[in-house]
Amino acid sequence: MPDPAQPSGPLQYVQRATFGFIERVTHHKAQDIPQLYNGLPLLREDAQALGNQNVATLKLKLKIRNGRNIRMAPQPATLQRVVSLVSIVRQYNALVELRRNVLWRHILEPGRADVFAEIQPVTETLRTQLRGYNPSQQRAICTAAKVAMQPVNLPRVCLLQGPPGTGKSHTIVGIVDKIIRDTQGKGRICLCTPSNAAVDEVIRRLISHKKRVTRDPNQLPYGLRVVRIGKMSSVHKDVAKHTFSEIVHGHIQNEIARKKEKNFPQSSQRELASLAEKISVLSNQLEHMDPADTNNVHRKRLQADLQKLEQKKADLKYQYRNINKSTSLTPAEEYEIKKNVLWRAHVICGTLNSFGSGSVQNLLRSRHPGDQSSFFFNCIIMDEASQATELDCLIPLQYGTSKLIMVGDPEQLSPTVLSRKAEQKCFGQSMFERMYGYYKYKEHNPVILLDTQYRMNPEIAAFPSQYVYEGRLLSDRCVEERGHNFPLKPYLVFNIDEGQEQSSQAGSIKNEAEAHFVAMLCHKIIRHTDIPQTDIGIIAPYQSQKSLIVDYLRQWKMASIEVGTVDGFQGREKEVIIMSCVRASSSGGIGFVGNRKRMNVALTRARSAMYVVGNLSSLERPGGDWRILIDDARNRSVVLECGEISHYV
């Protein structure tokens, strides 16, 4: 940016839209605002209108073509926000810092067998300790905990694959619990995910686990201290009291109260306690006086005495308040409280990006008295790692931690990337997926698969298990028993031959015949069963189709049925899921409906009934995944023409 103080030619004024970024924001105190306006002549006329409102000044850097001898035009300008650069700057800083972490070479080039954790055997003793977990979960817990306990100079990576309904969050809780036990309550864990919703869900699981085990002190003798970092506006109310800001606020208030009590003379404290006791005695006497007692003189005397004592107590409290009105903490005292809250935590939870916050980094990187560890965290546990970009995954590694435990499923949705150019450069591939792909067909495969699912009826799980997870995904006996009493058939594919897709001007696609059929199917389910509307979910891959189905449902008084995209249902479940595939044309492809990961997510959201609705000739024409699904459905005799609706109830 040129220096306008030293022009080398005639000045030119910027009088058009100009791109730039905010370098610094300064908030000004009320008493400084008049002086600020004196230095900004253009704002003097607005000063009176603004009154005592908060004012901030911004330092801008502008990108101007041929920018020599440029000044801003001497008139008010309007700022329009385009995008926040905070996340991008944090990603950039993480990339720059990567080489400082001993894991950097193994992240870029996976392959060393000693770095990628070998699956640990589960002894009989450990099997007894982990009796609330199935064998694959026990292997995952033991392996991950062993990784966390290795010396700090040894880089280690642990990969846990959790297909739908296999208890990933339950397993993460088990890993956290075992690490805390193995470190005798001295361990510290960074638990991070790409999204706020996922962070809050795993915190709920940790809180629930803490409540369950603390009933028996022998179960978790070291307690479980959880702190959630990040913006309060992004945190669910269920976990708000575990946020860093709430915990710090509580400690600050306690410290201020302690200071106030220290400032209040002991004699006054004793007098206040004595007054409270006397007031209690008189109040009790008045309360127990016989209403039939006609001795009004005695009652009036007691009431007068009580009033005097209460006035004296109020005066003493007023004096106390005046003494302590200005009681507060110094910035250094507040900083120590913030640092202690984080340093005493067993688990610090947040989004990947929140661990790039400068304030959090300053607190975590400062040395705590008596702490002998080389790095703050024993390990990083990264949940939903297959949905995070590689750059986001690097952010928590800035703390130097040499143990990385990634939990996710590369067979489900990848990170969302809007830029087509970035997608072509593999920016949409997660670190977990890259490592998973490297080891998938190698003899030494360190990826631990959670192999038992507790969500889907076995008929629903059959195709994803066989086709996506190579027959390794098993169904627990409980899901089969649960299906015996369910009033619907578990898995059906409806063929809507007459349906045709229609494209909107915005490029979205809808299919009237499918939308009407889906609404009719829902109506039949509601009418012939006692399944509530809230237990039914409809997946529509396009916004136009979603809107159309919602309109039909409202007309038929079924507005409580949730309609969403595949992305919206990721990580969730319903008793009944109906998928509208939409695509139906005599020629051409099927767009992102043909994406294998999206198909897998859609097919694994239902607990008891999964219904696929589509034009089968259009879906199977390109070949690939949908042709295999339709062939499988025909072999299992679960394909129905739309006229055969009565077969599903």
CA angle 534, 536, 541 (to 5 degrees): 120
Return the higher-pLDDT residue of 15 and 550: 550
Q: How far is CA 493 from CA 137, 538, 629, in A?
A: 33, 14, 10
Encode pLDDT of 135-194 as tens digits: 999 999 999 999 999 999 999 999 999 999 999 999 999 999 999 999 999 999 999 999
Confidence of residue 593 (pLDDT cuts 50, 70, 90): confident
Instruction: Please give the structure tokens belonging to residue 189.
Output: 């864990």
Sequence spans of domains, the chain? 21-71, 88-105+116-225+345-449, 265-324, 478-647
Q: Is the pLDDT of residue 267 over 60?
A: yes
CA angle 398, 377, 98 (to 5 degrees): 20
Asked if residues 413 and 597 have their Cβ atoms less than 8 Å apart, the reply is yes
Q: 3-class secondary structure for 433-460?
A: HHHHHHHCCCCCCCCEECCEECCCCHHH
Q: Out of 216-220, 297-301, 600-604, pick the least confident.
A: 216-220
| Predicted pLDDT of residue 627 | 93
| Predicted pLDDT of residue 51 | 61
- 78 three-state secondary structure: coil
| Predicted pLDDT of residue 534 | 96
| Predicted pLDDT of residue 216 | 62
Q: Out of 57-61, 115-119, 166-170, 349-353, pick the least confident.
A: 57-61
Asked if residues 384 and 198 have their Cβ atoms less than 8 Å apart, the reply is yes
The arithmetic mean of pLDDT across residues 90-109, rounded, is 95
Asked if residues 159 and 383 have their Cβ atoms less than 8 Å apart, the reply is no
Encode pLDDT of 191-239 as tens digits: 999 999 999 999 999 999 988 876 665 566 677 899 999 999 999 999 9
| Predicted pLDDT of residue 329 | 86
First and final CA of the chain: distance in angstroms?
Answer: 71
| Predicted pLDDT of residue 326 | 67
Q: Is 82 exposed, middle or buried (0-12, 13-18, 19+ CB in 10 A)?
A: exposed
- 493 three-state secondary structure: strand
What whole-number distance in Å separates Cα of residue 520 and Cα of residue 512? 12
| Predicted pLDDT of residue 1 | 39
Give backbone dihedrals phi and psi of 444, rounded to 5 degrees, phi first: -95, 105
What letter would DSSP give residue 387? G
The arithmetic mean of pLDDT across residues 419-432, rounded, is 92
Q: Parallel, antiparallel, or unpaired: how do β-strands 562-564 and 574-580 relate?
A: unpaired
| Predicted pLDDT of residue 7 | 47
User: What fold does the segment set 478-647 form as a domain?
Assistant: Rossmann fold (3.40.50)
| Predicted pLDDT of residue 50 | 60
Confidence of residue 5 (pLDDT cuts 50, 70, 90): very low
Nearest to 404 by CA among 446, 453, 457: 446
Q: Is 585 exposed, middle or buried (0-12, 13-18, 19+ CB in 10 A)?
A: middle
| Predicted pLDDT of residue 603 | 97
- DSSP output for 108-135: HS---TTTBPPPPP--HHHHHHTTTS-H
What whole-number distance in Å separates Cα of residue 549 and Cα of residue 512? 9
| Predicted pLDDT of residue 360 | 93
Interaxial angle between packed helices 168-182 and 135-148, expressed in degrees from 0 to 180 and rounded to the nearest 10: 40
Asked if residues 634 and 620 have their Cβ atoms less than 8 Å apart, the reply is no
Partners of 243 in the β-ladder = 228
Q: Is 288 exposed, middle or buried (0-12, 13-18, 19+ CB in 10 A)?
A: exposed
**pLDDT > 90 fraction of the chain, expressed in percent and rounded:** 57
Q: 3-class secondary structure for 268-314?
A: HHHHHHHHHHHHHHHHHHHHCCCCCCCCHHHHHHHHHHHHHHHHHHH
**pLDDT > 70 fraction of the chain, expressed in percent and rounded:** 86
What whole-number distance in Å separates Cα of residue 387 and Cα of residue 376? 26
| Predicted pLDDT of residue 374 | 58
The arithmetic mean of pLDDT across residues 535-552, rounded, is 95
Asked if residues 196 and 359 have their Cβ atoms less than 8 Å apart, the reply is no
Q: Which CATH superfamily is domain 88-105+116-225+345-449 in?
A: P-loop containing nucleotide triphosphate hydrolases (3.40.50.300)
Q: Which amino acid is at 387?
A: Q
Return the higher-pLDDT residue of 334 and 65: 334
What whole-number distance in Å separates Cα of residue 554 and Cα of residue 561? 9
| Predicted pLDDT of residue 592 | 77
| Predicted pLDDT of residue 316 | 79
CA dihedral 33, 36, 38, 40 (to 10 degrees): -130
| Predicted pLDDT of residue 157 | 96
| pTM of the complete model beyond 0.85 | no
Q: Is the pLDDT of residue 634 over 90?
A: yes
Asked if residues 354 and 234 have their Cβ atoms less than 8 Å apart, the reply is no
Q: Is the pLDDT of residue 246 over 60?
A: yes
CA dihedral 327, 332, 336, 339 (to 10 degrees): 130
Q: Out of 267-271, 424-428, 494-498, 608-612, pick the least confident.
A: 267-271
Q: Is the pLDDT of residue 76 over 80?
A: no
The arithmetic mean of pLDDT across residues 284-305, rounded, is 77
CA angle 644, 645, 649 (to 5 degrees): 125
Return the higher-pLDDT residue of 38 and 479: 479
Confidence of residue 39 (pLDDT cuts 50, 70, 90): low
Overall residue count recorded for the chain in this entry: 649
Count Cα neighbours of 78 within 13 Å in the Cβ-side half-sphere.
3
Those residues whose C-beta lies under 8 Å from the C-beta of residue 249, and which sit 6 or more positions away, are: none
| Predicted pLDDT of residue 454 | 97
Confidence of residue 122 (pLDDT cuts 50, 70, 90): very high
Asked if residues 102 and 155 have their Cβ atoms less than 8 Å apart, the reply is yes
What whole-number distance in Å separates Cα of residue 598 and Cα of residue 380? 28
Q: What is the largest distance, in Å, between two alpha-carbon atoms of the chain?
A: 102
Q: Is the pLDDT of residue 18 over 80?
A: no
Mean pLDDT estimate for the chain: 86
| Predicted pLDDT of residue 598 | 93
Q: Which amino acid is at 572?
A: R
b/e 463-477 (16+ beta carbons within 10 angstroms → b)? bbbebbbeeebbbbe
Interaxial angle between packed helices 331-343 and 244-263, expressed in degrees from 0 to 180 and rounded to the nearest 10: 130
Q: Is the pLDDT of residue 431 over 90?
A: yes
Confidence of residue 342 (pLDDT cuts 50, 70, 90): very high
Instruction: Please give the structure tokens belonging to residue 603.
Output: 């097919």
Q: Out of 101-105, 384-388, 416-420, 639-643, pick the least confident.
A: 639-643
Q: Is the pLDDT of residue 584 over 60?
A: yes
Nearest to 617 by CA among 647, 646, 581: 581
